[in-house]
């Protein structure tokens, strides 16, 4: 089936879809696969094909190529698209004589080929159009921000946030972030989720920092290598990420998301992408997995086994705790968003909590990573890991904390006299004070 313009208009009235995806594949040609962008140009395409506007929309900057399988020439020559007012090569979506918009032209040719001699349709060839509804709509101001895609390039030096998402979600995250002006979506052909870097600059404002993306040469159409030997020599052979020093991951979470986890244990990461990886311990099984161990204190006789580290690279040691300066350094490179605290005593209970995804939880992360000196509120800032937290402590957060003024039971994280934050007193309760 195919929906006429009137049917698409009716559907959008009920569904309010915000994106279209166009997928055309011919056995004797290439695959054309694009999705409308989260910008004003992309919205114009949606309005045109849903019958809400008759003006043929501009093609360039209105879509994003799905690099996992789009290998078409067509997607890269958008300035040559379209027929409008009797003129070809006008850089527009659609065919001026086709008022049904999504429907094929009159002789049923599927014109998504790169090679004119391959216009014949074979069994198995298809042309599909999908719609998608995003519930959290963008503001009008954000809809005016255009995202231009440059295949095989990245903008370096101005990264404000790193996360892991598919290509479309990466663009959406940029549009929702008031500081984001562009983004790098670093595709790996085998991964559903990719490294997504948000930047506060664009290629126009910082052209000297636009460079070819050297990562993963030979993995996909956008990043070809010269030879198999070059792939091997560049370190882009498809080894299991994080399993050895030759194939470090960016973080424990990246290892988990890429499907290369082997469970709890030691892995290799390179948060600075410096080529100097370090071995760390990743917890892959608890609370969703992807956790990097930054403090591990074991009590014994006569004193705890612990090495207090002033640099984050000390996390490779088996029994250590990072000082405030080391945590601050780590967050500069890794941009972690959560902390998990796990305390177990053989003769007592187990305290196990994780910071919440809210402003109170973020305040805790900032405090323990040395980005603020204000002790954060305890209540409302964490969630109990109910699978094994059976502590009384997690239920009396109003009694936590000690300030520098020596006032206790103030409902705060930390101990005002412990400036190293994670060392000894991340959670403090003075049991000697009467309630």
- Is the entire prediction scored with pTM above 0.85? no
- pLDDT (0 to 100) of residue 382: 93
- pLDDT (0 to 100) of residue 220: 61
102 pLDDT above the threshold of 90: no
Q: With pLDDT > 90 as the criterion, what percentage of the chain qualifies?
A: 24
User: 143 or 280: whose pLDDT is higher?
Assistant: 280
- pLDDT (0 to 100) of residue 99: 67
The pLDDT tens digits for 385-408 are 877 899 999 999 999 988 988 899
Q: What is the mean pLDDT of residues 42-67?
A: 89
Which residues neighbour 229 within 8 Å (Cβ) at sequence distance 6 or greater? none
The pLDDT tens digits for 111-152 are 565 544 455 677 778 889 999 876 444 444 444 444 445 555
Cis preceding linkage at 302, omega within 30 = yes
209 pLDDT above the threshold of 90: no
- pLDDT (0 to 100) of residue 285: 86
Taking a C-beta distance cutoff of 8 angstroms, is the pair 32, 72 a contact? yes
Give the Cα separation of 23 and 43 in Å (integer): 18
**pLDDT bracket for residue 368 (50, 70, 90):** very high
Give the Cα separation of 161 and 176 in Å (integer): 13
Give the Cα separation of 185 and 194 in Å (integer): 7
Give the Cα separation of 342 and 353 in Å (integer): 7
Give the Cα separation of 147 and 175 in Å (integer): 9
- pLDDT (0 to 100) of residue 338: 93
The pLDDT tens digits for 304-349 are 677 888 899 998 887 888 888 999 999 999 889 999 999 888 877 8
State the chain's mean pLDDT as an integer: 79
- pLDDT (0 to 100) of residue 136: 43
110 pLDDT above the threshold of 60: no
The backbone torsions φ and ψ at residue 310, rounded to the nearest 5 degrees and listed phi first, read -95, -10
Cα distance between the two ends of the chain? 72
Which of 135-149, 350-364, 409-423 is predicted most confidently?
Answer: 350-364
The pLDDT tens digits for 156-173 are 777 888 787 777 778 888
| Closest of 88, 95, 213 to residue 156, by C-alpha | 213
Give me the helix-helix angle, 359-368 and 324-334, nearest 10°.
120
366 pLDDT above the threshold of 80: yes
The backbone torsions φ and ψ at residue 208, rounded to the nearest 5 degrees and listed phi first, read -70, -15
Give me the helix-helix angle, 40-49 and 5-15, nearest 10°.
120
**pLDDT bracket for residue 188 (50, 70, 90):** very low
- pLDDT (0 to 100) of residue 24: 87
Q: With pLDDT > 70 as the criterion, what percentage of the chain qualifies?
A: 77
Taking a C-beta distance cutoff of 8 angstroms, is the pair 164, 257 a contact? yes
Cα 310 to Cα 212, 304, 335, distances in angstroms: 35, 18, 18
Q: Which two tokens stand for residue 5?
A: 């313009």
User: 193 or 349: whose pLDDT is higher?
Assistant: 349
């Amino acid at each position: 089936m195919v929906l006429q313009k009137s049917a698409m208009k009716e559907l959008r009235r009920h569904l309010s879809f915000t994106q279209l995806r166009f997928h055309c594949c011919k056995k004797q040609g290439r695959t054309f696969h694009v999705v409308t962008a989260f910008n004003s140009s992309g919205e114009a395409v949606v309005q045109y094909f849903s019958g809400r506007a008759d003006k043929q929309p501009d093609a360039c900057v209105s879509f994003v190529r799905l690099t996992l399988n789009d290998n078409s020439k067509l997607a890269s020559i958008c300035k040559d698209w379209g027929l409008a007012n009797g003129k070809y090569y006008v850089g527009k979506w659609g065919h001026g004589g086709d008022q049904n918009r999504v429907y094929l032209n009159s002789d049923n040719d599927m014109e998504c080929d790169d090679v004119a001699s391959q216009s014949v349709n074979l069994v198995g060839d298809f042309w599909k159009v999908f719609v998608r509804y995003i519930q959290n709509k963008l503001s009008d101001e954000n809809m005016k921000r255009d995202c231009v895609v440059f295949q095989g390039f990245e903008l370096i030096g101005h990264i404000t946030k790193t996360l892991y998402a598919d290509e479309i979600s990466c663009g959406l995250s940029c549009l929702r972030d008031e500081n984001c002006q562009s983004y790098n979506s670093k595709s790996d052909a085998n991964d559903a989720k990719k490294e997504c870097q948000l930047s506060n600059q664009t290629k126009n404002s910082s052209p000297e920092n636009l460079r070819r993306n050297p990562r993963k040469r030979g993995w996909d159409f956008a990043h070809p290598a010269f030879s198999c030997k070059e792939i091997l020599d560049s370190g882009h052979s498809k080894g299991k990420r994080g399993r050895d020093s030759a194939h470090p991951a960016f973080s424990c979470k990246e290892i988990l998301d890429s499907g290369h986890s082997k469970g709890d244990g030691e892995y290799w990461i390179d948060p600075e992408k410096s080529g100097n990886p370090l071995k760390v311990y990743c917890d892959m099984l608890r609370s969703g997995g992807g956790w990097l161990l930054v403090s591990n204190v074991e009590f014994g006789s006569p004193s705890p086994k612990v090495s207090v580290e002033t640099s984050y690279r000390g996390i490779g040691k088996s029994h250590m705790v990072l000082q405030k300066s080391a945590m601050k350094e780590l967050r500069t490179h890794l941009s972690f968003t959560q902390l998990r605290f796990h305390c177990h005593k053989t003769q007592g209970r187990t305290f196990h909590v994780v910071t919440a995804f809210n402003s109170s939880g973020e305040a805790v992360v900032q405090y323990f990573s040395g980005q603020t000196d204000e002790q954060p509120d305890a209540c409302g800032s964490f969630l109990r890991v109910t699978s094994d937290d059976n502590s009384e402590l997690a239920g009396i957060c109003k009694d936590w904390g000690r300030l520098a003024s020596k006032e206790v039971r103030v409902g705060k994280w930390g101990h005002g006299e412990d400036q190293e934050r994670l060392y000894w007193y991340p959670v403090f309760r003075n049991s000697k004070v009467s309630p």
